[in-house]
Structure 1
Amino acid sequence: MKNSHLLLFVLLLSACSSAPTQITYYMLDNPTRTMSAPNNQAPTVTLQSLNLPDYLRQDGLVMRLSNNRLQLSSEHYWAQRIDASIETIMLKQLNHPDASFHLQSITEPLAQQSDYQLHIQIIHLLIEQQNAVRLQARYWVTKSDSHQSLMSANSDIDIQLTADGYEHAVEKMRQALVHFSDEVSKDISTIVK
């Protein structure tokens, strides 16, 4: 009987001494930046596909520890699906009154009436352990009626981390996506008339 009381006491003591895990959620998109009215006279480009690697299709933030080893955080999570966040960032960045084209989501009601289709394959979007944020992607534009490829390009963006912590890394990921959106915009502007 004494042993069972002692065991119960030890279990209660260990339960009291361990702090609960603090879970933090991050938004990749900056909610303070609003979407501006697009140029409705410009040609329309539909974001037809946005493909992500499997390791980004889950809720935990991912850090690359070595060449072939990733760590999935059990305490730091995305507040929404990362593909939805990437799409929102691109729509905000590319749609402005002076844009030479209007980017729309495939989910918009008139998406099937667009002139061009944008396809994006994110190869990597991750935090390099205490070093940088890395974005590698491939993208191409096709004509909607013929699916003929009009251009294709690759992007490889590294942004150095200047502070510790996931919050800083998420801000740098947002910067990488803004930079990527600008690259995509310049390339599309050369072919969309």
Structure 2
Amino acid sequence: MKYIVFLSFFLVSCTSAPLSVNHYLLHTPTPVVTEAHNKQKTPIYFSSVTLADYLRQASLIIQLNEHELHYSRQDLWAEGLQSSFYKALKHDLNFYNSPKNITEANSVENALTLKVNLQHFLITNRASVISSGTYSIKPKGANWLQKPFYFTIPLEKDGYPHAVSQLRKTIESLALQINQDIRNIQSSNN
């Protein structure tokens, strides 16, 4: 009898449809264009992105209410959020800061240092996405300038693909805000 129950359970589990898993990227591959750093612009050393502990996993997250989160088992980041967010923000910083002067080398003389601390990066049950945290900029020989950021963008369609594209737009907004602060620092140093 035990074997019949086990065999029935095994056959039923084999016939159920497999879980469909979707993977999402925050950045897309773009051609690499190397430019010499502009001597008149201060280079920017983008040192790190740190994540809140709850963001350090592969699932996309939906905030169901003020204190409850849902981690999707079917909709995942294609690579770690920390790495993907870093790549997307670096791309946008370079895009909005021409000529490109974002460097990964800490040895560049007179470079500003940039760090980002991401506290929230999620979809809400109120048909929006939220990205928030702080970023810090340190000119050589000066104190850290720390600024908060908070971006929310409404969802116009259902589904994770649209939500991810809206989350991506929050990174563009962050790049614009950071670049404005960097321009202010650079103009005050000239």
TM-score for the superposition, normalised by structure 1: 0.84
Q: Counterpart in 2 of 1:148? A: 143
Q: CA RMSD in A?
A: 2.3
Q: Secondary structure of the residue that 2:107 maps to in structure 1?
A: helix
Where does the alignment leave 5 or more consecutive residues of structure 2 unmatched?
A: none
How far, CA to CA, are the matches of 1:101 and 1:187 in structure 2? 16
Task: Name the aligned partner's letter for residue 119 of structure 1.
Answer: K
Shifted more, 89-98 versus 58-67: the winner is 89-98
Q: What are the equivalent positions in structure 2 for 1:35-50 lying under 5 Å apart?
A: 35-38=32-35, 40-41=37-38, 42-50=41-49
Displacement of 1:50: 1.5
Residue 128 of structure 2 is aligned to residue 132 of structure 1: yes
Q: Secondary structure of the residue that 1:76 maps to in structure 2?
A: strand
How far, CA to CA, are the matches of 1:83 and 1:104 in structure 2? 18
How far, CA to CA, are the matches of 1:97 and 1:72 in structure 2? 33
Q: What are the equivalent positions in structure 2 for 1:52-63 lying under 5 Å apart?
A: 52-63=51-62
Where does the alignment leave 5 or more consecutive residues of structure 1 unmatched?
A: none
Residue 68 of structure 2 is aligned to residue 69 of structure 1: yes
Q: Counterpart in 1 of 2:16? A: 18
How far, CA to CA, are the matches of 1:89 and 1:185 in structure 2? 14
Displacement of 1:97: 9.1
Q: Counterpart in 2 of 1:111? A: 106
Q: Counterpart in 2 of 1:158? A: 152
How far, CA to CA, are the matches of 2:93 and 2:159 in structure 1? 29
Task: Name the aligned partner's letter for residue 14 of structure 1.
Answer: V
- The C-alpha deviation readout for 1:139-159, integer Å capped at 9, x for no partner, is 121123x3522x332211111
How far, CA to CA, are the matches of 1:116 and 1:101 in structure 2? 14
Displacement of 1:137: 2.0
Q: Counterpart in 2 of 1:91? A: 90
Of the three residues 167, 176, 181, the one matched with 1:173 is 167
Contact 2:130 2:150 (C-alpha < 8 Å) held by counterparts: yes
- The C-alpha deviation readout for 1:96-141, integer Å capped at 9, x for no partner, is 4962671223xxxx32324211121112111112511101121121
Shifted more, 93-102 versus 129-138: the winner is 93-102
Equivalent residues, number: 184
The 3 A distance-change label for structure 1 pair 178 and 13 is: same
How far, CA to CA, are the matches of 1:147 and 1:30 in structure 2? 35
Displacement of 1:55: 1.3
Displacement of 1:16: 3.6
How far, CA to CA, are the matches of 1:64 and 1:138 in structure 2? 20
How far, CA to CA, are the matches of 1:88 and 1:20 in structure 2? 32
- The C-alpha deviation readout for 1:12-38, integer Å capped at 9, x for no partner, is 44224421111111111133x445445
TM-score for the superposition, normalised by structure 2: 0.85
The 3 A distance-change label for structure 1 pair 190 and 39 is: farther
